[in-house]
Amino acid sequence: MAGRIPPEFIDELLTRTDIVDLVGTRIQLRKAGKDYQARCPFHDEKTPSFTVSPDKQFYHCFGCGAHGTAIGFLMEYDRLDFREAIDELARRAGLEVPGATETGPAGPDHGPLYALHEQAAELYREQLRVHPGARRAVDYLKARGLTGEVAAHYGLGFAPPEGRLLLSRLGASPSERERLLTCGLIYDEEGRRRDRFRDRIMFPIRDRRGRVIGFGGRLLGEGKPKYLNSPETPIFHKGRELYGLFEAQKANRKLDSVLVVEGYMDVIALSQFGVTNVVATLGTATTAEHLQLLSRTTPEVVFCFDGDRAGRAAAWKALESTLPSATGRQSIRFLFLPDGEDPDTLIRAEGADAFRARMTEAQPLSEFLFEQLCDQVDMASIDGRARLSALAQPLIQAVPPGIYRDLLTGRLSTLAGIPQKPKPVARRGRVQTTRPTRPTRIAQAIALLLDHPELAAEAAQLPDDWRRSPSPGAAILVQLLETIAAHPTINKAALVERWRGQEHFAYLQQLSVDPFLQDIPPEGMAAELIGALSRIGEEVLKDERSRPLNQRSPGAWSDEVRARLERDAAAARTRNR
């Protein structure tokens, strides 16, 4: 249920973690009755609606619906994946995360590859300080206006031209050379092995956890390519990573906006001037994986391109990549620089405040979309507007169904002069007030057990007829009771986490905060659970009794069925006297 980390370890980890202490290190909490409250960190609000329960070890926002355990909070607030959140909580609790267990086969151990990249990065940094040929690298960086502090912050280094640094220092044994080869740090050339990066300024590429996973190198001498990245390796996939994201998250507790630029030097130069919310793609166009990563990181993405024809063509490709994930929940904008300028030169000329103002005024996706399409047609003619519609419709259809796509369709209708079909109007009648939908009895029982695992003892006293229910969720309820029976002291947070990674996890999380529980007084919880399970059991017995009657004609009824019907009829007559 939690990959190859034993569920028992996660139980222990959550037992040792106080969610109030954890959340309190990120946001300011205040006591409100038995719980704690704050303004929600996941949406803007003036009145606190974010609640943290020390009893249930759970958080819930009544404004935006965000909810979860200590693990879920770290994943959302610190933008970590599941394993990263487990590692962080284990570090806080002084526990060591176990490796492969019986819960699943171990994946490959990439620890040595990460360690090798860290060693290589340290060697490159050392060479920038001590190698006789590094003066050209230092002069280049100074000419670009970079200070020693910012170069050290991003870990810049130097790969000597000889092409033997890593081989000689990190490749003494055959196994070490194979590891260097796996990492793409060396390569075979006509039967001999050489360092991949030679005579280059080195830019270590870090993942979101700060681990070096690859390198980019800028050539100092003549030749091509001017920029060279690490090849694809078991730990480096350039279509998934963004240069500078780790540093941006480290510099900004909350990234309200992220600027996507085209090069390492742009990221570093902007950072030196205080614009620290900047990342760069690694020599590739923006991918779906990049967009997914950004959607978990920030509510606004600003793509930065040159203002010339090539820059706008690159921006159009980025726009096409964003459409399948454009829902309107994340703002997507495009910033075009003046001719002849790049982010580095522009911020030096204008300053950080003026550059930030340009980011604020960047063109929204919808404006850029229709501006580009309108420039391709004659908007003064019917034929041109028909052509606009033909060009726009496939692009709009790529947007997920919803309000944003409806708004784009409406904008196209206005530009093309096409009247929109009115949406069906609901028939007028008596106004009905909406009430929260009460969950099914199975869902009620699940919600009650999640909130109060101690009620499992009450369920154990009942007849087990309800277990034969064909209703969706019955199997989950059985699993819940079995888990609680095996771990009688388990709390709500640990119970929910047991389903992480499974198809029912989101369903269980939603039930765990279902508002119907608020209407039940504490002393009525056990009776509510007993009543729900009893009624489910009665429905099962009723269905089992009627099933033979529905499937056969009376002449085909067995003696057992006839005898049962006679007993039921006699009992009914007795009750009616």
Q: Which range, of 119-123, 275-279, 301-305, 424-428, averages the lowest pLDDT? A: 424-428
205 in Cβ contact with 233 (< 8 Å): no
What pLDDT was estimated at residue 558?
A: 64
78 band by pLDDT with thresholds 50, 70 and 90: confident
One domain, residues 558 and 540: yes
| pLDDT for residue 3 is more than 80 | no
Is residue 270 one of the residues assigned to a domain? yes
Count CB atoms within 10 A of the CB of residue 31: 9
201, HSE (Cβ side, Cα atoms, 13 Å): 21
- Asked whether the predicted pLDDT for residue 529 surpasses 50, the reply is yes
Q: What is the pLDDT of residue 427?
A: 53
Average confidence (pLDDT) over 329-353: 92
The pLDDT score that the predictor gives to residue 327 is: 86
Assess if residue 133 is contained within a domain.
Answer: yes
Look at residue 434 and tell me whether its pLDDT is greater than 50: no
Whether 306 is covered by a domain: the verdict is yes
Mean predicted confidence (pLDDT) in 333-355? 93
Structural domain includes residue 99: no
Domain of 481 in residue numbering reads as 441-576
Instruction: Report how far residue 259's alpha carbon sits from residue 261's, in angstroms, rounded to the nearest whole number.
Output: 6
Task: Calculate mean pLDDT across residues 543-571.
Answer: 63
117, 178, 271, 339 from 361: Cα distances, Å: 40, 50, 20, 18
Q: Which residues contact 442 (CB under 8 A, 6 or more apart)?
A: 469, 471, 472, 473, 474, 477, 532, 536
User: CATH code at 409?
Assistant: 1.20.50.20
Share of the chain above pLDDT 70, in %: 88
Contact between residue 312 and residue 277 where contact means Cβ atoms under 8 Å apart? no
Helix (H) or strand (E) holding 499: none
pTM given for the model:
0.65
* % of the chain residues with pLDDT over 90: 47
Q: Is residue 139 part of a domain?
A: yes
Q: Do 182 and 270 fall within a single domain?
A: no
Q: Are residues 26 and 134 both part of a single domain? A: no
**Dihedrals phi, psi of 486, to nearest 5 degrees:** -75, -25
pLDDT digits (tens, 9 = 90+) for 381-394: 999 999 999 999 99
Measured distance CA(111)–CA(304) in Å, rounded: 35
Q: What is the pLDDT at residue 349?
A: 93
Residues 457 and 522 in one domain: yes
Is the domain of 199 the same as that of 262? no
Sign of CA dihedral 230, 231, 236, 238: positive
CA gap 138, 157 in Å, rounded: 10
User: Does residue 448 sit in the same domain as residue 570?
Assistant: yes
Tell which of 334, 351, 371 closes a domain. 371
Q: Which residue has the higher pLDDT, 2 or 574?
A: 574
Could you tell me if 411 and 505 are in contact, meaning their C-beta atoms sit under 8 angstroms apart? no
Q: Could you give the CA distance from residue 18 to residue 414 in angstroms, rounded to a whole number?
A: 55
Which CATH number characterizes residue 524's domain?
Answer: 1.10.860.10
Window from 39-43, 354-358, 394-398 with minimum mean pLDDT: 39-43
Any idea what the CATH number is for the domain that residue 356 is in? 3.40.1360.10
Distance CA 476, CA 485 (A): 14
Indicate whether 475 and 561 sit together in one domain: yes
Give the amino acid at 245: L
What is the reported pLDDT for 462?
A: 83
Indicate which CATH number applies to the domain containing 119: 3.90.980.10
Q: Which helix (H) or strand (E) holds 58?
A: strand 58-61
- What whole-number distance in Å separates Cα of residue 460 and Cα of residue 456? 6
pLDDT tens string 470-498: 877 888 888 888 888 888 888 888 888 88
Whether 423 is covered by a domain: the verdict is: no
Q: What is the arithmetic mean of pLDDT over 505-518?
A: 77
Distance CA 59, CA 71 (A): 11
Q: Predicted confidence band at 2 (pLDDT cuts at 50, 70, 90)?
A: very low
Calculate the average pLDDT of the chain: 86
Q: Is the pLDDT score of 546 beyond 70? A: no
Q: How far is CA 371 from CA 68, 312, 365, 385, in A?
A: 43, 11, 10, 13
In this structure, are 280 and 357 located in the same domain?
yes
Total structural domains within the chain: 5
Q: Which two tokens stand for residue 247?
A: 């540093």
Q: Are residues 44 and 74 in the same domain?
A: yes
- In a domain? residue 299: yes
pLDDT beyond 90 at 176: yes
Beta pairing partners, 155: none
CATH at residue 27? 3.90.580.10
Q: Are residues 224 and 258 in the same domain?
A: no
Rg (Cα) of the chain, in Å, rounded? 31
Q: Output 8 or 125, whichever has higher pLDDT.
A: 125
Same domain for 223 and 115, yes or no, is yes
Considering only residues 19 and 547, tell me which one the structure prediction assigns the higher pLDDT: 19
> Are 62 and 39 found together in one domain?
yes
Q: What does the pLDDT average to over 4-32?
A: 89
CA–CA separation, 530 vs 460, rounded Å? 10
pLDDT confidence band for 264 (50 / 70 / 90): very high
Contact partners, residue 450, CB within 8 Å, separation at least 6 = 480, 492, 495, 496, 508, 511, 512
Residue 437: pLDDT above 80?
Answer: no
Q: Tell me what the mean pLDDT of segment 401-409 comes to.
A: 91
pLDDT of residue 143: 92
Predicted confidence band at 547 (pLDDT cuts at 50, 70, 90)? low
Highest-confidence range of 129-138, 493-502, 541-550, by mean pLDDT?
129-138
Question: For residue 126, what are its two tokens?
Answer: 């050392």
